[in-house]
Structure 1
């Protein structure tokens, strides 16, 4: 039975286009969490549930699994780029933001391991995003830093990302920090940009 508001009751506001941006942001955040907890093969419906939206809203924003993964990857890279451009963060601080994304986002780890073999679809896009991460990090790399040699920076990032395993975010962070320590690289607080 449909209930109609009484004269003194207000209908919820229809935010129209404003809601679309909020829904998309909620879906990206939910996908990051779901992928971190259950891997990239997690049910699509779990993302919608976590974001608090219907599955139709999910499909309106992201028609398939690759579109969601691409959005998560893009957001992660954008935040690393913003951290690198920030006047407030040192190189160690930028590494802290990137490490947060490594521990929070299974999709981000795959991005950093994108190789030449998978240069189609999302893999080619992931390779381009990996190059953006390298440019952002390299722009902040202090002169004479131990990771300054040609391929050392992204090799170190790949090594650390390979160590980011474990059932909990805390365990993944602990392992990432241990890997950076073994590489004798200082990392700032592990947190999202602005966190």
Structure 2
């Protein structure tokens, strides 16, 4: 008789949550936010019950993925990244998870609005410095930068994952940015 697997109980919670978020990043990058949540659980190596204990629905999981992306932007900003670096990071997030950005710009869920505002704040922090360096036109506003993010993200929808980086670069060039 094979040895039984010991159930680690609640102590596995943080590890399972981290595995689910890492898996969600990967699965969403491959198949978008419409991917079956069972695929996320399978990739994380946990049962669907574990997924739903941590994230009661798809929006909660997507919001947690966006939260990680926004936290990464905020860390990059605090570490001295300039606006071009911040735009590259936002673009990488958009390329990896097009549907996540679609939900980020949706104005219905309150948490997503808060996350959107945090992205706008990071962009605004670096705007004056970018103006002074001639990286953006003097009339560019933080709202313009957020619109640029939304336009670039929109250009990525329904594009094969392999094409997204080149499409994003072309879109930013058309908008007058190198990202």
Query: For the superposition of Structure 1 and Structure 2, which TM-score range results when normalised by the shorter chain?
Result: 0.7 to 0.9
| Separation in 2, partners of 1:26, 1:150 | 34
The yes-or-no answer on 1:130 pairing with 2:122 is: no
| The structure with more radius of gyration | 1
- What is residue 37 of structure 2 aligned with on the other side? 44
User: Alpha-carbon deviations, 1:125-183, whole Å to 9, x = none?
Assistant: 21221111000111022252327336311111111111113122x31111111111111
Quote the Cα distance in structure 1 between the aligned partners of 2:104 and 2:143.
Answer: 13
CA contact (8 A) 1:111 1:130 kept: no
Q: Which runs of 5+ in 2 are unaligned?
A: none
RMSD, aligned α-carbons: 2.4
Structure 1 segment 95-174 matched on structure 2, within 5 A: 95-115=87-107, 119=108, 123-141=109-127, 142-144=129-131, 145-146=136-137, 148-149=140-141, 151-165=143-157, 166-168=159-161, 170-174=162-166
Check conservation: 1:44, 1:65, Cα contact below 8 A: yes
| TM-score (ref. length: structure 2) | 0.83
For the pair 1:21 / 2:7, whether they are aligned, the reply is no
Q: Which structure: greater helix fraction?
A: 2
Following superposition, the deviation at residue 12 of structure 1 comes to: 7.8
If the length of structure 1 is used for normalisation, what is the TM-score? 0.77
* 1:76 is aligned to 2:72: no
Name structure 1 gaps, 5 residues minimum.
6-10, 188-195
1:15-51, Cα deviation, whole Å (9 max, x unpaired) = 962x322221221121122223223232121110111
